[in-house]
Structure 1
């Protein structure tokens, strides 16, 4: 069975086991059903996810020109504290920025390799946690805009990590931690502007179980742009990674905008 696709990050659904779907040829391929099957990826070229042109991908699925013009990849995406839509100040496209920044945002703790603090729009929970390969997560504050979430994250990351060790996450080397206890430790460090948004009554921990038959013991990353063709037996899916029997891992999200042929053997 063969599919043509322009790679985009896998869509997910939180059930007893996280379900993964890949956008292919106006359809969705359920990847959970492909565990223990041989899959071949063949690199065919590029297609910018913004302008749709067959131009070399620069970052995040965008060509060079779109990456530096599109409002969807402004600096405030990676650094929420730089958000200015709440002040009516435009970065690249104020209407777009207001549509994203002026929505409820969550600052959270997630456990993927270690405990980390992060920010996401409320509508992106639990998608954001799954994309990071978190096994557990808990909300800290819910604020009305991205700026408040950003300054809260900046304050808290002086006391807890804001990065995940992706290698440990993929090997399932996850530290043990009480997220409720960790959240309480951080409460006093929340900026004054966001203190009233602390979710005092939220003790709910969300757990994620991933479809993995075997975790890699060593990590070999697949760069389709260099390899052009790769074939391997799928043994698991975690975060935005496909895990193969030979310890090869493929970061689908890092390959957005790549045109590929996927062959299920």
Structure 2
């Protein structure tokens, strides 16, 4: 049995991707649990910032911390709002400069249908793995988050920017030629970003450790169902996929303290 605060699973590039769940100073290789029964039991809360046993509001933080920490500021979800390149602070200028003023990718990914997104260069391919994308293609590499956001906003007028998580988890993937899409939308990229458009022509292909996909999805929320047991059939994105069509979003439950039990 393991106990710990839920955090997103770490990933390792392999074929298929390897997943590790951090649990109180240890790591559980989740791939090795596929085909086995595992139990998830809710124990309590632990805010990922203050560490207190306070109800989690969003993204692993209690309500007070959520509205204070720089990791949840508006520019995180809306890169075009980044201001560190102007030396303007939103919550913590040092953190914002560290994150915003580094190379970023504008990319296309296919996890259900083609979508446009932004990620730090240092976060590739982790970002695409976490989204459950089976293909990704870089559109541009820019020097800061603001420029990436400007490009994303322009491309969102022509492409989706959200993943259909139900289609992703049931593996209903629309076949898309990402290179063709890149060439089709290239002219919509703002002039200040055009010099940073890359000449990548081959998408990165990602394979996930899934023995069987659910035919429909039933989302497990530990605050509503504090004890669950099922046979793990695969992992995709940050989701655990179970034999009874239950899916559990590890990242969506960050900050909950759980017990993890394993049986045959």
Bin for the TM-score computed over the shorter chain: over 0.9
Following TM superposition, by how much is the alpha carbon of 1:204 offset from its aligned partner in structure 2, in angstroms? Answer: 2.6
- Structure 1 residue 66 and structure 2 residue 61: aligned? no
- Structure 1 residue 31 and structure 2 residue 39: aligned? no
Give the Cα separation in 2 of the matches to 1:181 and 1:139: 13
Three-state SS of the structure 1 residue aligned to 2:168 is helix
Map of 1:212 onto structure 2: 210
Map of 1:226 onto structure 2: 224
1:112-127 counterparts in 2 under 5 A?
112-127=111-126
Q: TM-score, normalised by structure 2?
A: 0.99
Three-state SS of the structure 1 residue aligned to 2:39 is strand
Give the Cα separation in 2 of the matches to 1:56 and 1:181: 46
Map of 1:82 onto structure 2: 81
Following TM superposition, by how much is the alpha carbon of 1:203 offset from its aligned partner in structure 2, in angstroms? Answer: 1.2
Map of 1:137 onto structure 2: 136
Three-state SS of the structure 2 residue aligned to 1:141 is strand
Give per-residue Cα distances to partners, 1:159-201, cap 9 Å, x unaligned: 11111110000000000010111111111000111010000x2
Give the Cα separation in 2 of the matches to 1:45 and 1:225: 10
Map of 2:46 onto structure 1: 47
Give the Cα separation in 1 of the matches to 2:71 and 2:248: 24
Give per-residue Cα distances to partners, 1:212-242, cap 9 Å, x unaligned: 0110001110000111100000000000000
Give the Cα separation in 2 of the matches to 1:93 and 1:217: 45
Give the Cα separation in 1 of the matches to 2:15 and 2:255: 30
Residue segments in structure 1 that go unaligned for 5+ positions in a row: none
Give the Cα separation in 2 of the matches to 1:74 and 1:24: 27
Map of 1:191 onto structure 2: 190
1:156-167 counterparts in 2 under 5 A?
156-167=155-166
- Structure 1 residue 176 and structure 2 residue 175: aligned? yes
Following TM superposition, by how much is the alpha carbon of 1:244 offset from its aligned partner in structure 2, in angstroms? Answer: 0.2
- Structure 1 residue 247 and structure 2 residue 251: aligned? no
Residue segments in structure 2 that go unaligned for 5+ positions in a row: none
The structure 1 segments of at least 4 consecutive aligned residues displaced by more than 6 Å after TM superposition are none
Following TM superposition, by how much is the alpha carbon of 1:25 offset from its aligned partner in structure 2, in angstroms? Answer: 1.7
Map of 1:22 onto structure 2: 21
Give the Cα separation in 2 of the matches to 1:137 and 1:55: 38
Aligned length: 263
**RMSD (CA atoms):** 0.6
Q: TM-score, normalised by structure 1?
A: 0.98
